Amino acid sequence: MIKINLKQGFLAVIAAVVLISTLVSCEPHSKKHVRKNFSIEVTHPFQNTNWAFEEEVLDFSFDIEDTTTLFDISLVLLYDTVVNTLKDIPLSLTLSTPDGMKSFSTSHFLLDRKENPDIRKSGTGNTAEVNVVVYPHRKFKVPGTYTLTVYRRAEKADNLGFESLTTKVTVAK
């Protein structure tokens, strides 16, 4: 029969605890999951509230590490309802991945309150916010920097009354 004194038993328990805690903490880091309230926002403000011809093409870059979660990519336009004269802004979109792949999509901002009940008042005065999901339930295959390119196809060169355009990346619902 093997006799274990108190000192050896205590050391064996300590060794077991250290071994188990080491194994638990060595969980693979590739399995990172984001929180449900995770959000990336990249905003482009417009000088003098003018979405000018020179800003007809805008690039928004953001970093993604999680390749297992589904995300929604949306655009949020903040504008003055009195100054703006456009009712619809057509958009062409390109999503570029870190490995050089590109996907294309089209969308539009519908700015007429009679046709779009989802327009929300924002702040004070006549400022409103319209949100459009341009890439719903998107799974990113490669971690790294993604770029969303937005092409504004409005007929006018200068478009007054626009404060900012924001790209939002959130966990899909």
Cα–Cα distance, 143 to 149 (Å, whole number): 18
Higher pLDDT, 130 or 4: 130
Residue 76 sits in a domain of what CATH number?
A: 2.60.120
The answer to whether position 96 is within a domain reads yes
The region that residue 49 occupies, defined by phi over 0 for left and psi between -120 and 50 for alpha, beta otherwise, is left
Model confidence at 19, pLDDT cuts 50, 70, 90, reads very low
The answer to whether position 121 is within a domain reads yes
| pLDDT score for 53 | 87
- Contact between 79 and 162 under an 8 Å Cβ cutoff? The reply is yes
| pLDDT score for 45 | 96
The answer to whether position 52 is within a domain reads yes
Instruction: Name the domain count of the chain.
Output: 1
Cα–Cα distance, 128 to 113 (Å, whole number): 10
> What is the phi/psi pair of residue 134, to 5°?
-95, -25
Per-residue pLDDT of 62-102, as tens digits, reads: 999 999 999 999 999 999 998 988 889 999 999 999 999 99
The answer to whether position 9 is within a domain reads no
Tell me, yes or no, if the pTM score tops 0.85.
no
Cα–Cα distance, 88 to 154 (Å, whole number): 8
Per-residue pLDDT of 27-72, as tens digits, reads: 444 344 556 678 999 999 999 899 988 899 999 999 999 999 999 9
Amino acid of residue 168: K
| Cβ neighbour number for residue 79 with a 10 Å cutoff | 28
The answer to whether position 24 is within a domain reads no
Domain of 73, in residue numbers: 32-171
The answer to whether position 164 is within a domain reads yes
The answer to whether position 67 is within a domain reads yes
Per-residue pLDDT of 103-161, as tens digits, reads: 999 999 999 888 998 999 887 788 999 999 999 999 999 999 999 999 998 777 778 89
The answer to whether position 16 is within a domain reads no
Residues 6 or more apart whose CB falls under 8 angstroms from that of 172 comprise 69, 70, 71, 72, 136, 137, 138
Question: Would you state the structure tokens that stand for residue 24, as one six-digit string?
Answer: 């638990």
